[in-house]
Amino acid sequence: MLDLPLVPLYTQENCPLISITSETNDSLGMLDLAVLLTVLFTITVFLFEVMLDFRQRSCYRKTEFPQQLKSVVSKIDAGKSASSGSKKQEATEEEEKDSNSKVEKDELFLPQLESKFQKSQIYGTDKIMFSIASSTYETFETVFFLLVGFLPYAWDLSVRIGKEYIPYKTVEGEIGVSLIFVMVVQLVGMVTSLPFELYSTFHIEKKHGFNKQTYSLFFSDKVKSLLLTCVLGLPFVALLLFIIQKGGENFYLYVWVFMFFFSVFMMTLVPVFIMPLFNKYEPLKDGVLKERIFALAARLNYPLTKLFVMDGSKRSSHSNAFMFGFGKNKRIVIFDTLMTQVHDDEILGILGHELGHWKLGHTLTNFVVTQVYFGAAFYCFSLFFGSYDLYSAFGFDGPKTPTIIALLLFFQTLWAPIDKILNFVLTVFSRHCEFAADEFSHSLGMNKELQTGLCKIHLENLGAMCPDPLYSTYHYSHPPLVERLTAMMDLDKKSI
């Protein structure tokens, strides 16, 4: 038994912890264990991930260009040199006009990668050191909040706010107070994370030439996000809590159905109404590229209805492309930065990869996995919903613990180890899907274009050129560049 019990400093008035005497030491020990194991798990995960961060930092300190990447890129350059003459002759007048912005993109990749290697290493070092600092604070904050009893304090504060500043009947008891609690926690989290977000955006990203945001745009995004939390997040929480409270012993089944329909609702709502609040989406101008993209979609029976260019450059010079939509209403979005970094053939190769995810069922699989995850999580929550000792251990009045608190404590304690394992499994699966989508692009005859497109994106984004194997295995949802290029070259060999 610990001489100093690990119990929160702040507990609710009727919490069993404050009435336990020396005669019930065994009960106190059981309560201690919940907090102790949560703290130990949090610190263990933190130490493991920091160990991986330091391994990656060691890789970022290397000064010699990685030989494996050099060998692979040299082969791409050799093929590029052999075909460059014929491709120049086929250039259209429109491409000639854009040539000034893409001259360096037509040069050999290896010299460009080698020239930006040190910049990439410095950028990676800055990001990894920032990650170590921010994760250290986040872990300290999590443990500190647990030990001081932040959650019971925030709940009691929310009750006082509901009684003193809002007509109590209008907040409808527990659910109404829960909504106040959500906003209190949201605001605290926003304030504590703000310095880190500002430093990352306006120091690290700006230092390396990526950030294009202004402070006014940054804070307007924050305000919009907060308003969306009020408009969408609070009704979602209210409905979720209502279903749990009224659903009886099998409430998890009703929650599962609710989560399914809410997911479909958000898949429809986000691209049409929410994303345009943050970025401008313009239809891709009529021309050869637009015709070729629609032809590619038709070839694969992808129900493409709209094709947009997004002004990603107003926030960052990083580039990307993605697809979204539900049912027969599919859309493709290309960042304006990507349009300036790669050629039309490479955009087709990149989109061939993205369409491969849809054609191979990866998009549907991810949706199904997400729904299964929700079902499993809420079923397990239903099994522990009545674990009043667990709630008491964190400073709450056992049987009177609010539903939202029970949810938070369940996911923060009992479900947390399972969640970490599942996240790693999904990361591994994501890398498998990336290789499969690369192979699909190869089957479309776009292997070379995808290879050169990936090299250019990596070059422009100062991507990691020598990632640590353990770090990349744990964190990367996409395989490292050298692994993808090697796999695609192997496909070329097999097809000969």
Catalytic machinery residues: 354, 438
Which backbone phi and psi does 212 adopt, to 5 degrees? -120, 0
Supply 449's token pair. 């274009």
- What lies within 8 Å, CB to CB, of 449 at 6+ separation is 345, 346, 348, 349, 352
Closest CA to 343 of 143, 108, 103, 109: 103
449: exposed, middle or buried (Cβ count in 10 Å: 0-12, 13-18, 19+): buried
| Long-range interactions of 280-289: CB distance < 8 A, separation 24+ | 280/310, 280/311, 280/314, 281/308, 281/309, 281/310, 281/333, 282/308, 282/309, 282/311, 283/307, 283/308, 283/309, 284/308, 284/309, 284/334, 287/94, 288/92, 288/94, 288/344, 289/344, 289/347
Q: How many Cβ atoms from other residues are within 10 Å of residue 127's Cβ?
A: 20
Instruction: Give dist(CA 342, CA 329) in Å, integer.
Output: 27
Instruction: Give dist(CA 430, CA 433) in Å, integer.
Output: 5
431, 55 Cβ separation under 8 angstroms: no
Residue-wise burial string across 316-355, b where 16 or more C-beta atoms lie within 10 A, e elsewhere: bbbbbbebbbeeeebbbbbbbbbbebbbbbbbbbbbbbbb
- Report which residue type is found at 447: N
146, 152 Cβ separation under 8 angstroms: no
> How many residues are there in the chain?
496
